A and B are shown apart, each in its own frame.
Chain A
Amino acid sequence: MNEVIGIIIAAILCWLNFVIVDTYFGLPEQPGVRGAGIIGRDVEKRGGDIAGGFFQGNILCSPDASAGTLMASIGYLLLGIPGGIIAAFLVFIGNRLCADPGYAGTTGSLTATAIIFICSFIGMTPEMFIVGMVIAILTIQGIDQVRASVLLGKIAEKFNRHA
């Protein structure tokens, strides 16, 4: 598969994977740690959505499905499917060190491993998923935090997880 097309598809898949898993496990509902709450209220002060702000603060302060997807891609590149499962284990340890129960991180890693395995049959490589995940995190945290938080707040309302 053409690399550029593959990276675009991988970015969309990674974005859907980590946003759906993180929203389902309640990241927009409440800040897990104090830093996440401060980031969320700051984003709200700049005109964003409080639930989207809590989401952004939570994925910044502890390894959730976003970090899980990235680490599963790297583990799959190096070690195959067992690498993805090792990534889930390491994300779980990191979660517990960051005062987070860790449901979102481990689930995100395992679903990302499954997605990469399924997509390998249509010729997509784990490298494309690493690049795609970096692009996906950039759209949430990097380009325009306020508008991203509004979008995340709408998604949280759909899942009935708004703050």
Chain B
Amino acid sequence: MFDLLYNTVSVASNGNFYGLVNIGISGFDILLAYIVAIICSIIVALILRLPLLPSKPYRYSFDVSAIYPTPIIAIGILSLFLVLNYTFMYNGLVLAVIIGVLSALFVKYLFDFVFPKPLSEDNGEDINE
């Protein structure tokens, strides 16, 4: 059984020792696609009038902004397409732009519907104290 487990994991990770080997386009193109996705998502989010930074205090704010979480969503979705080796046209640049625009639209219009903010201390039901 352990042989099977070992073989499965080693086949799955074969060639991933330095990462990126199972992707069809070159490492430079991958880096470029990530940078394009990040910049495009931030710019479109700013055009849609999202604030650049979350509201203060920064470390406890649930508000969405252009810096966070828009680029995280964009590069996460782009990674899913890359590991499936689906890189549409121009070495993935078109895909990066489309994903950047769509993630900014998602954060602006759908994010609060999908991930509602937690109830504040006053509105939530008190279990104890």
Contact = CB atoms under 8 A, between A and B. Distances in A.
Interface residues of A, number: 31
Interface residues of B, number: 29
B88 interface: no
B35 to A, nearest CB: 13
A76 B15 CA distance: 12
Given A34-B127, A96-B115, A101-B62, A81 B20 contact: yes
A86 B80 contact: yes
Given A77-B13, A96-B115, A82 B62 contact: no
Given A85-B75, A101-B62, A120 B18 contact: yes
B79 A89 contact: yes
Of B23, B59, B69, B79, which is in contact with the most chain A CB atoms at under 10 Å from its CB? B79
Contacts of B69: 92, 102, 106
The 3 closest A-B pairs by CB, nearest first: A89-B76, A80-B19, A99-B118
20 contacts: A25-B59, A77-B13, A78-B12, A78-B13, A79-B16, A79-B79, A80-B20, A80-B21, A80-B23, A82-B82, A83-B16, A88-B72, A89-B75, A89-B77, A90-B76, A92-B73, A101-B62, A103-B59, A106-B72, A127-B9
